[in-house]
Every structure is written in structure tokens, then in C-alpha cells.
Amino acid sequence: MSEGQGRRAIVVGAGIVGVCCGIELRRRGFDVTVIDRVQPGESCSFGNAGILAAQAVVPVPMPGIMWQAPRMLLDPEGPLVVRLGSLGKTIPWLWKFYQSTGVEKVMRTADAMKALYGTTVELHEGLAREAGVPDLVQTSRYLYICRDPRNADTENSLTWRLRRERGGEIEVFDGPALREVEPELSPIYKRGVRLGPMAKTLNPFRLTSSYGGLLRRQGGTILTAEVKAIRPDGARVHVDTNAGSHQADVAVIAAGAWSLKLLQPLGLNLPLIAERGYHMTFANPGVALKHVISEIERQFAVSNMEMGLRIAGTEELGHADDPPSWRRAEVLKRLGKEIFPNLNVGEGTRWMGPRPGTPDSLPAIGPLPGHPNIYVACGHGHLGLTGGPNTGRIVAGLAAGERLNLNLAPYAPDRFGAASETRNVA
Ligand SMILES: Cc1cc2nc3c(=O)[nH]c(=O)nc-3n(C[C@H](O)[C@H](O)[C@H](O)COP(=O)(O)OP(=O)(O)OC[C@H]3O[C@@H](n4cnc5c(N)ncnc54)[C@H](O)[C@@H]3O)c2cc1C
């Protein structure tokens, strides 16, 4: 008999992380209910850049980044913005971010990222096949581009060393060679660095909602309700919603950028912030790309999707539920035209989503301290689509009492201290 047989698990959140946790718990025999106030994939997992970043080993807090931050912050169109209303809550988070920028810490983080994200392509391919949408996952390569070749120093910079030493395959294209591999690019871009292997999805929302369909076919339930509180009660857990209370043997908090509202009353003040990002998607772009593009200097990504061409980026630190600053999306539109002069920006849709961000770029995965039957699965920041499937396996494996061949310490939910000073910013 499987370890989960006859036991009930409730997952809060039907984003990519929660849905993957639900699927993996169901595989281990748990009776699974996923609860969300919206339909699967309608929050941050809706509008991301769709990259299954198997080579993601470079955290955001890198040595020297604090020196670049003021310049970025002073540029009203720059990639980093701090919303003034949330400044008091952002500063403690930035302090912990700064503490994560030492070289040794970065090397450890890179290893933990590789361990979590390195298998994303195989895992998503398997899930997409089971969910009946294999065409939504396609192998691809990343093309990093920059105007100044010094910004992609593949020989000497720590960024590229981290990637190379962890198995990234790297090719450099300078000048006209760059136009040969990506013909629509503007000539203002002087260097491109191709990185792989990796993959992308053609539609992150449809992928997540198809995984929700898979969970239902496996016998899981997806309930539409708002979770108000999680109350431990010995070996049981009560999950109170606006539509009644549910009991379970195991609860998983996978509520993305809103997770802190449920974690704080349980004693965990995880430094979790909403790293708000934006996208513009152009239905008739008039240009077709051969790669997923990552623009190094302005820090945004461009990818062909089934809905058109998507430009995604921006890091706006603030509250998840504050109204969007659509100016950020307009900046992406202008940058899109700079990078691809032939881009048709006529029919564009815009979107904002809150990435659930921790200061060290690693998610919080594992049991909640003091409550061994409540699990945390949040804080994937820029890489939740990539990390969803493996996070699901880890959480479900822990709940089923499996021995995992993975050091979980780097993802420990209490690694910043159980009573960190950062308060709820979501
Ligand atoms: C512009 C942009 C580009 C990105 N590009 C990529 C990329 O290319 N590759 C990649 O890997 N990642 C990317 N990401 C990051 C990725 O989208 C996120 O990390 C991921 O979607 C987070 O998933 P999640 O399930 O944790 O959160 P969400 O998708 O936000 O899901 C959390 C769910 O919890 C629900 N919830 C919260 N509180 C409650 C409650 N109390 N009761 C009921 N329900 C609740 C919410 O309604 C929500 O549906 C990008 C993000 C952005 C913004």
C-alpha cells in the first residue's frame, strides 16, 4: 500500500507549484484537494515567459549587484523599481538580499538551483504527455544578447563560470554571426551567447490548467474558495475557507506571493516579497524567433508563444495586490521595438503578475517548523514554472515518508530565522 493511501492532503494554491504538488501527492495515494480562489494558473503562473530553465544556476543576488542597483533605481524605465508605498517592508528584504551576494554563498545557491531545476525539461515533458498536451513543451535554446560585448564576458565573469561549471553548453556569436543565428535582431546588438539545453512552453497558462485537468482525471479535486486560516490540531490540520472548513492529514501552502498571510499566523515570517513582473503579448508580431531571447542590459525575455510574441520582464518590488503600473508594460513594448525593428506592436495585450520572491533566489520547500504535517512550497521567484514539477515531487515524497536523494537544507523554510523581522508584504 502506498504511504498516502487513506490520508487526505489539502494544497492551498492552484498555480504551477500547487498543481504539481497535488499531482505528485495523488500519485502517492493521497486523497487530494487543491483549493484556490481562482482557476488553476490564473495568477502568477498565467503570464510568465514560459522558459523551462534547466540551466538556471545564477541567483539574482550576485556579487556587485548592490552597486548597480542605485543606477537601475534612478532610471524610471530601468528593470528594477521599488514601489514607495512598500519601502518600509522592502528594506529588510533588500538587506537579506545583500547578505546573499557573497561568492561562497552564490556558489552554494548555484548548486541548489541546479539540483532543483536541472531536470525540469524531462519532468515537464512527462507531465505534458500525461496531461494530453505534449506539443506545449518544446526543446529550445536561450540566446543572451547585449549591445556591449563586455556585458557577456563568457571567459572571465562569475555568471558564465557558474553556468559552464554546471553543465551549460555555451556558444558565442559576435557581430554579423549573431544576425545569422537570429536574423530579426537589430544591429545595435553586438554579441549573443547561446545557452542550452533547455525548453520552453508555448503557453504557461494552458500548461498549468492542463496539469489541473490531469489532477482531476487522477481523482483529485480542485475547489474554488479563499483559505482564511490553517489550524494545526495534533495529527490533523483544519483548513478554514470562506465556504466552510476542511480537515486533512497533510496541508501544503503553495499560495505564491500570498503565502505569508497563511505562514505568519503559524509562526514563520519568511522574507517573501512580491517581485511584480509585466508582459506584453503581440498577436501578430510579424517576426518569428529561432530562440528564446534574454536581453542582458535591460533584463527582459522574449519568446514565441501560441498567442503571439511575448516580451516579459521588470522587477517591481511591492505588494502583490497593488494596482499594476502599466507604464512598465509600455516600456517593454518600446524595448521590443528596439530589439526587433520589424515587430508589429499593433495588437498587444498586457499583464502583471507577482513573483513570490525570497532574498536568496531559492524557494522555501519543506515542513513548517513545529508543524511536521504542514509543508511550505513557495518563493520560486523568477523560476516557478521551471521548479514546479520537482517541488511537487519533493513535497509529496516528504509527506509520504520517502527517503529523498537531495540535500533540502538550502530550501529550508526557516533558513532566514523563524522570526525574521520582515513583515507581510504580499
Ligand atoms: C514577467 C514574468 C516572467 C516569468 N518568466 C518565467 C519563466 O520564463 N520561467 C519560470 O520558470 N518562471 C517564470 N516566472 C516566474 C513564475 O511565473 C512564478 O514563479 C510562478 O508562476 C509561481 O507559481 P506559484 O504556483 O508559486 O504562484 P501562483 O501562480 O501565483 O499561484 C498561487 C495561487 O495561490 C492562490 N492563493 C493565494 N492565497 C490564497 C488563499 N488564501 N486562498 C486560496 N487561494 C490562494 C492564488 O490565487 C494563486 O492562484 C515569471 C514571472 C513573471 C512575473
**Which residue, by CA, sits nearest to atom 31 of ligand 1?**
15
Mutate to test the pocket of ligand 1, among 43, 209, 222, 295 (most ligand atoms within 8 A of CB): 43
The number of the ligand 1 atom at minimal distance from the alpha carbon of 312 is 1
DSSP annotation of 308 reads E
Q: Assign residue 87 a region: left if phi > 0, alpha if psi is -120 to 50, beta otherwise? A: alpha
Percent of all residues in the chain with a pLDDT value above 90, rounded to a whole number: 89
Please tell me the predicted confidence (pLDDT) of residue 320: 95
Residue 418's pLDDT band (boundaries 50, 70, 90)? low
Please tell me the predicted confidence (pLDDT) of residue 74: 65
256 lines ligand 1 (CB under 6 A): yes
One-letter amino acid identity for 377?
A
Q: Are strands 250-253 and 371-378 parallel, antiparallel or unpaired?
A: parallel
353 lines ligand 1 (CB under 6 A): yes
227 lines ligand 1 (CB under 6 A): yes
Domains contained in the chain, CATH given: 54-95+134-198+273-357 (3.30.9.10)
Residue 426 pLDDT exceeds 50: no
Residue 421's pLDDT band (boundaries 50, 70, 90)? very low
Would you say how long the chain is, in residues?
426
3-class secondary-structure state, position 374 = strand
pLDDT digit string, tens, across residues 166-178: 999 999 999 999 9
Distances (CA, A) of 365 to 30, 84, 151, 369, 419: 19, 30, 33, 11, 17
Q: Where are the alpha helices (DSSP H) in 223-313?
A: 260-263
Please tell me the predicted confidence (pLDDT) of residue 417: 87
Mutate to test the pocket of ligand 1, among 33, 258, 275 (most ligand atoms within 8 A of CB): 258
Give the mean pLDDT of 296-319: 95
Residue pair 264/424 in contact by the 8 Å Cβ criterion: yes
pLDDT digit string, tens, across residues 46-62: 999 999 999 999 999 99
Mean pLDDT check: name the lowest of 80-94, 208-222, 291-305: 80-94
Which residue in 247, 213, 218 sits closest to 230, CA to CA?
A: 247
Proportion of the chain in helix, strand, coil states, percent, rounded to 5: 35, 30, 35
Please tell me the predicted confidence (pLDDT) of residue 412: 98
Mean pLDDT check: name the lowest of 64-73, 197-206, 409-418: 64-73
One-letter amino acid identity for 233?
D
CA 269, 250, 14, 312 dihedral sign is positive
Please tell me the predicted confidence (pLDDT) of residue 422: 39
**Which residue, by CA, sits nearest to atom 51 of ligand 1?**
48
Give the mean pLDDT of 349-354: 97
Q: Does this model's pTM top 0.85?
A: yes
Q: What is the distance between the alpha carbons of residues 364 and 344, in angstroms, rounded to a whole number?
A: 40
Cα–ligand 1 centroid distance for 260 (angstroms): 14
Give the mean pLDDT of 308-325: 94
Per-chain mean pLDDT for the chain:
94
Residue 76's pLDDT band (boundaries 50, 70, 90)? low
Which residue in 369, 379, 375 sits closest to 393, CA to CA?
A: 375
Give the mean pLDDT of 28-56: 98
CB atoms closer than 10 angstroms to residue 374: 25
Please tell me the predicted confidence (pLDDT) of residue 69: 74
Residue 70 pLDDT exceeds 80: no
pLDDT digit string, tens, across residues 3-16: 888 899 999 999 99
200 lines ligand 1 (CB under 6 A): no
Please tell me the predicted confidence (pLDDT) of residue 424: 39
Please tell me the predicted confidence (pLDDT) of residue 2: 65
Give the mean pLDDT of 27-51: 98
Please tell me the predicted confidence (pLDDT) of residue 75: 72
One-letter amino acid identity for 85?
G
Give the mean pLDDT of 96-123: 97
Residue 145 pLDDT exceeds 50: yes
Q: What is the distance between the alpha carbons of residues 49 and 395, in angstroms, rounded to a whole number?
A: 25
One-letter amino acid identity for 202?
L
Query: Residue 21 contacts by C-beta under 8 Å, 6 or more apart in sequence?
Result: 11, 34, 252, 254, 375, 377, 391, 392, 395, 396
Residue 294 pLDDT exceeds 70: yes
Query: Residue 336 contacts by C-beta under 8 Å, 6 or more apart in sequence?
Result: 280, 282, 302, 309, 311, 343, 345
Please tell me the predicted confidence (pLDDT) of residue 419: 56
Please tell me the predicted confidence (pLDDT) of residue 88: 78
Residue pair 350/117 in contact by the 8 Å Cβ criterion: no
DSSP annotation of 48 reads S
Q: What is the distance between the alpha carbons of residues 18 and 51, in angstroms, rounded to a whole number?
A: 18
Residue 236 pLDDT exceeds 70: yes
Residue 425's pLDDT band (boundaries 50, 70, 90)? very low
Percent of all residues in the chain with a pLDDT value above 70, rounded to a whole number: 96
Give the mean pLDDT of 62-77: 77
pLDDT digit string, tens, across residues 247-271: 999 999 999 999 999 999 999 999 9
DSSP annotation of 323 reads P
